[in-house]
Amino acid sequence: MTNKRPVIGITMGDPAGIGPEIIVKAMQDNSVTSICQPIIFGDRGALEREADRLVISSTFETVTSTETFSVCPGILAILEVSRLNPSCVRYGSPTTESGKAMAAYIISAVEMANAGKIDAIVTGPISKTVLHDAGYNYPGHTEMLAALTGAKDVVMMLAGETLRVVLATIHCAYTDVPKFLTTEKILKTIIITHESLKNVLAGKKPRIAVAALNPHAGEGGLFGEEEKNLIGPAVAEACRLGIDATGPMPADTLFYYAAQGKYDVVVCMYHDQGLIPLKLLHFDTGVNVTLGLPIIRTSVDHGTAYDIAGRGIASPASLISAIKTAVQMVHGRAGVHSCHSLAGDNPYSS
């Protein structure tokens, strides 16, 4: 894409959740619309209903392609992927139809990103259960995007202003984590993290801290052998490859130092190990970034929030951060300017 303002595709998420609400709210923020041309992959009826309910004056424009797409800030450009009957979409009550629409938004946006018709995609909140019920057997967004883009190795990064975490394992039972961890998998996660971040850290080498799996980093084997047999060898090989990696480090102290700025990112062994500290610090503004894809994808770091859908209290902060991060990554990949971080030190922050 050659637009001065990157074209960012935003998928609406489940129409029965808070996706439509946070999109309508985010599109009122000039710090978003001044830096990109957003195009919403969703349902016009659901978005118009939300704008009316929130008493937000918005101009909606339906587009069919991005070839001549150019709208002014304040106009919501919608690529109508679905046309659900608004009376059949109830807040907080997802259906198979809303689940199919939710998946169709993602598929359509990825197709355009793969074809180079949009510069990046920002995904709204989905329900994994509803996704399954609609016939899409993916554990989550990350795995679905990998399949749609043909990416072999991808990792999930959650980023906030002061902390970034990458997960070696994602959506699996806690008891399955040790058997899913291998030296090769951990090493690949470190390498993908290094390669993805070095292009957006103003040219500097990312400082990567690698968390231990067990308390006290295994305490010399007393509390587990994974540090000695799996994680340590992966870190050693990463260092041999010229990567600035440190570990395995005890997680109970590591996150304190990472949040203080000693490290640029923490590679974690399992989902909650990384997401608990991340969400403690950045519950409303965290951004989900998929590393290793051939396209740029960021996402909100929260779910569909069916319990508050339709109440007008959902915060668009995470979506706004995700859009700004996507724009930053577009410019970083293109070499337009030097970026300082993902979600932190954002040159586009308001």
Examine domains 1-152+293-350 and 162-284 and report if their fold is the same.
yes
Give the Cα separation of 279 and 79 in Å (integer). Answer: 32
* pLDDT confidence band for 340 (50 / 70 / 90): very low
CATH of region 162-284, choose from 1.25.40.10, 3.40.718.10, 3.40.50.300, 3.30.420.40: 3.40.718.10
Rounded to two decimals, the pTM is 0.85
CATH of region 1-152+293-350, choose from 2.20.130.10, 3.40.47.10, 3.40.718.10, 3.40.50.720: 3.40.718.10
Is residue 196 within 8 A of residue 204, CB to CB? The reply is no
Domain boundaries, the chain: 1-152+293-350, 162-284
* pLDDT confidence band for 345 (50 / 70 / 90): very low
Phi-psi region of 88 (alpha: psi -120 to 50; beta: other; left: phi over 0): alpha
pLDDT the model gives residue 76: 79
Tell me the pLDDT tens digit for each residue of 246-296. 999 999 999 999 999 999 999 999 999 999 999 999 988 889 999 999 999
Is residue 164 within 8 A of residue 193, CB to CB? The reply is no
Q: What is the dihedral of CA 282, 232, 223, 213, to 10 degrees?
A: 20
pLDDT the model gives residue 64: 74
* pLDDT confidence band for 222 (50 / 70 / 90): confident
Average pLDDT of the chain, as a whole number? 88
The tokens of 212 are what? 């231990």
Tell me the pLDDT tens digit for each residue of 159-210. 998 999 999 998 889 999 999 999 999 999 999 999 988 766 766 899 999 9
pLDDT the model gives residue 321: 93
Contacts of 137 (CB under 8 A, 6+ apart): none
Contacts of 202 (CB under 8 A, 6+ apart): 338, 339, 340
DSSP 40: E
3-state helix, strand, coil in the chain (%, to 5): 40, 15, 40
Alpha carbon 108 to its chain centroid, in Å, reads 17
pLDDT the model gives residue 344: 43
* pLDDT confidence band for 342 (50 / 70 / 90): very low
pLDDT at 70 over 70: no
The tokens of 89 are what? 């979409």
pLDDT the model gives residue 341: 36
The 10 Å Cβ neighbour count of residue 338 is: 13
